[in-house]
């Protein structure tokens, strides 16, 4: 029997990066499991999420959360990773966020980075994969692939703005810089500030960021040439989550494959948690879910709760499911709202399974790419409460598309209960039949059908113009899987 091609997935353990890998792996196993051999490498903690038919290879690789205690002042236990990276939207907020971003996503020391890269080189030489699919945060693995001449594809949970900015030329200055929260299209009076924000990023990293420069120097000394891979011009194929007709107008390079939302396959909620399913189906439900690594301190938690209490008092016919991870211990007194509020620190089902019930009328999320695209794909209006960098930009996208509201524009990076209450009420309406709320719902459904491939659309700077139904539903994970299989066939 001939040897099956080996595809090695390499991702950081963070859910924001690894979820798209797990989604694509599940599609490949379902549709091409007999044709290829799938392997996965990451920090050992990701082994538990690896499918049983996938061979797992641990790398000396720390997650962002694991890196944290070793790198910052242990005398300040209240300073967790989320609080460090918090930055307000705006001109100065974007610059402040930029100064912290590399220390957050690459908190490892130069020595730890080199150890990961060299371990990846050893794995490539031992396993001899036909293709490596590399995650957005796995820069050390890209270094290893470049050094060894290993074929690789980038698989990113991000959008065209992050993966194709270099192909835009001067048009890139007309996209809002990460972290600014500037509206799109950018008003003429903000364009000079946007240009300054964009130029600040490389100036800060290459001239002023000592951690970044030390890592680059160590890389070069260890035989990994050039700047960090994210700043190298690459012709490697790159898969991202964008649907071009509902994204900012862009030039799409030949090596970039926007596949639409790449969402994990989920069992129906009624099969995973029957009790929760019955409760969700009992009333129109607002889902509040701030991501896997987003603990709220007591002040932030009570701002959100006070907004919930006002919403439940205003709309007696709705209920709220709130996934709340707390930073330090504190109490949320739910007695005044009764059984119309459920608070849990963990959901047994994927949020997408809860959204798929059809009884969720609004999703309140933190603006992470996965959360944003899950709500977009299922056609549920969303309110984004953003606390850092690119999360502000997804709030802008939601308003540009007309599918939601920014829930903390004034209060970012934290939240104000009055502002959050007002934003959610605009999305769900004072009554179930409120005209404006129905318009947002209709728009969210139209946009979701474009993301699913069921409708066409023409993108303009003022938003997409949606056409008629003309196609069959497709999943972004399946599209990404076919890109990988086609690339494998070409490289044989």
pLDDT tens, 399-433?
Answer: 999 999 999 999 999 999 999 999 999 999 999 99
Among 454, 482, 479, 480, which Cα is nearest to 466's? 454
- Could you tell me which residue, 235 or 317, shows the higher pLDDT? 317
Among 478, 477, 491, which Cα is nearest to 152's? 491
User: Residue 20 has what DSSP assignment?
Assistant: H
On the question of a cis peptide bond just before residue 338, with omega within 30 degrees of 0, the verdict is: no
Asked if 423 contacts 406 with a C-beta cutoff of 8 angstroms, the reply is: yes
**Angle at CA 13, nearest 5°, toward 12 and 17?**
60
Which pLDDT belongs to residue 467? 86
Which pLDDT belongs to residue 39? 98
- In the chain, the largest separation of any two C-alpha atoms, in whole Å, equals 67
pLDDT higher than threshold 90 for residue 14: no
Q: Which token pair is 380?
A: 């549920």
Q: Mean pLDDT across the stretch 426-454? A: 95
Among 21, 480, 24, which Cα is nearest to 259's? 480
Query: Which helix H or strand E contains 368, and what residues bound it?
Result: none
Q: Where are the beta strands (DSSP E) in 259-345?
A: 285-289, 319-323, 341-344
Rounded Cα gap, residues 28 and 106, in angstroms: 30
On the question of a cis peptide bond just before residue 144, with omega within 30 degrees of 0, the verdict is: no
- Half-sphere exposure (Cβ direction) of 333: Cα atoms closer than 13 Å: 2
Rounded Cα gap, residues 463 and 459, in angstroms: 6
Of 85-89, 250-254, 267-271, minimum mean pLDDT range? 85-89
Among 44, 43, 50, 45, which Cα is nearest to 21's? 50
Q: What are phi and psi of 344, to 5 degrees?
A: -140, 150
pLDDT tens, 23-78?
Answer: 999 999 999 989 999 999 999 889 999 999 999 999 998 777 676 655 555 555 44
Of 118-132, 136-150, 323-337, 395-409, minimum mean pLDDT range? 323-337
Is the Cα dihedral 23, 326, 381, 159 positive or negative? negative
Q: Mean pLDDT across the stretch 371-376? A: 96
Among 351, 360, 298, which Cα is nearest to 323's? 351
Rounded Cα gap, residues 154 and 163, in angstroms: 9
Decide the pairing of beta strands 238-240 and 256-258. parallel
Domains of the chain, start order: 6-264+478-491 (3.40.50.2000), 269-469 (3.40.50.2000)
Q: Mean pLDDT across the stretch 180-184? A: 96
Question: Which CA distances in Å does 140 have to 119, 258, 259?
Answer: 9, 24, 25
Asked if 262 contacts 23 with a C-beta cutoff of 8 angstroms, the reply is: yes
Question: pLDDT tier at 389 (50, 70, 90 boundaries)?
Answer: confident
Q: What is the CA radius of gyration of the chain?
A: 22
Percent of the chain at pLDDT exceeding 90: 74
pLDDT higher than threshold 60 for residue 240: yes
Rounded Cα gap, residues 249 and 236, in angstroms: 22
Q: Which token pair is 413?
A: 């990076």
Q: Which token pair is 349?
A: 């089902």
Spatial neighbors of 37 by CB under 8 A, at least 6 apart, are 4, 5, 6, 7, 55
Question: Which CA distances in Å does 73 have to 82, 84, 96, 99, 217?
Answer: 15, 12, 20, 18, 25
Rounded Cα gap, residues 372 and 359, in angstroms: 18
Residue with tokens 């060299």: 118
Which pLDDT belongs to residue 80? 57
Among 6, 14, 12, 42, which Cα is nearest to 292's? 14
pLDDT tens, 324-361?
Answer: 988 778 888 767 777 899 999 889 999 999 999 999 99
Rounded Cα gap, residues 118 and 308, in angstroms: 50
Dihedral (Cα; 154, 160, 166, 172), 10-degree rounding: -160
CA 255: distance to chain centroid?
21
Which pLDDT belongs to residue 70? 57
Q: Which token pair is 343?
A: 């608070």
Spatial neighbors of 122 by CB under 8 A, at least 6 apart, are none
Among 240, 262, 288, which Cα is nearest to 384's? 288
Decide the pairing of beta strands 319-323 and 152-155. unpaired
Asked if 191 contacts 174 with a C-beta cutoff of 8 angstroms, the reply is: yes
Q: Where are the beta strands (DSSP E) in 77-148?
A: 131-135
Among 15, 100, 99, which Cα is nearest to 294's? 15
């Amino acid at each position: 029997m001939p040897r099956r091609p080996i595809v090695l997935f390499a991702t950081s353990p963070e859910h924001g990066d690894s979820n798209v890998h797990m989604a694509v792996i599940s599609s490949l196993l379902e549709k091409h499991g007999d044709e290829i051999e799938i392997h996965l490498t990451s920090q050992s903690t990701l082994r538990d999420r690896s499918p049983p038919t996938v061979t797992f290879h641990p790398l000396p690789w720390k997650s962002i959360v694991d890196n944290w205690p070793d790198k910052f002042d242990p005398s300040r236990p209240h300073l967790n990773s989320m609080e460090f990276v918090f930055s307000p939207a705006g001109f100065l907020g974007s610059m402040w966020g930029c100064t912290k971003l590399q220390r957050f996503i690459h908190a490892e020391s130069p020595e730890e980075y080199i150890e990961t890269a060299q371990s990846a080189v050893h794995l490539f030489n031992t396993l001899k994969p036909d293709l490596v699919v590399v995650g957005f945060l796995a820069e050390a693995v890209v270094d290893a692939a470049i050094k060894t001449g290993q074929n690789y594809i980038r698989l990113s949970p991000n959008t065209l703005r992050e993966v194709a900015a270099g192909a835009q030329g001067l048009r890139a200055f007309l996209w809002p810089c990460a972290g600014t929260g500037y509206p799109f299209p950018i008003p003429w009076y903000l364009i000079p500030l946007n240009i300054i924000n964009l130029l600040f990023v490389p100036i800060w990293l290459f001239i002023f960021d000592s951690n970044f420069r030390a890592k680059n120097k160590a890389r070069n000394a260890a035989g990994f040439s050039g700047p960090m891979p994210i700043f190298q011009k690459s012709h490697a194929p790159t898969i991202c989550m964008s649907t071009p007709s509902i994204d900012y107008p862009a030039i799409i390079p030949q090596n970039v494959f926007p596949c639409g939302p790449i969402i994990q396959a989920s069992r129906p909620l009624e099969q995973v948690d029957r009790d929760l399913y019955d409760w969700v189906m009992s009333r129109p439900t607002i889902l509040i879910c701030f991501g896997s690594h987003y603990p709220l301190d007591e002040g932030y938690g009570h701002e959100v709760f006070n907004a919930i209490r006002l919403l439940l008092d205003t709309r007696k016919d709705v209920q709220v499911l709130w996934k709340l991870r707390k930073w330090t211990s504190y109490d949320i007194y739910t007695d005044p709202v009764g059984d119309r509020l459920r608070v849990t620190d963990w959901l047994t089902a994927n949020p997408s399974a809860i959204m798929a019930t059809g009884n969720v009328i609004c999703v309140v999320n933190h603006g992470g790419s996965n959360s944003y695209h899950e709500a977009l794909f299922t056609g549920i209006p969303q309110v984004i409460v953003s606390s850092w960098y690119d999360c502000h930009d997804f709030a802008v996208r939601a308003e540009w598309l007309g599918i939601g509201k920014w829930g903390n524009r004034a209060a970012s990076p934290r939240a104000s209960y009055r502002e959050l209450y007002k934003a959610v009420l605009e999305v769900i309406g004072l009554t179930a039949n409120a005209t404006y709320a129905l318009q947002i719902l209709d728009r969210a459904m139209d946009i979701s059908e474009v993301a699913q491939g069921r409708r066409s659309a023409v993108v303009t700077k003022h938003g997409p113009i949606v056409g008629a139904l003309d196609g069959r539903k497709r999943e972004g994970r399946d599209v990404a899987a076919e890109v990988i299989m086609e690339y494998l066939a070409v490289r044989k």
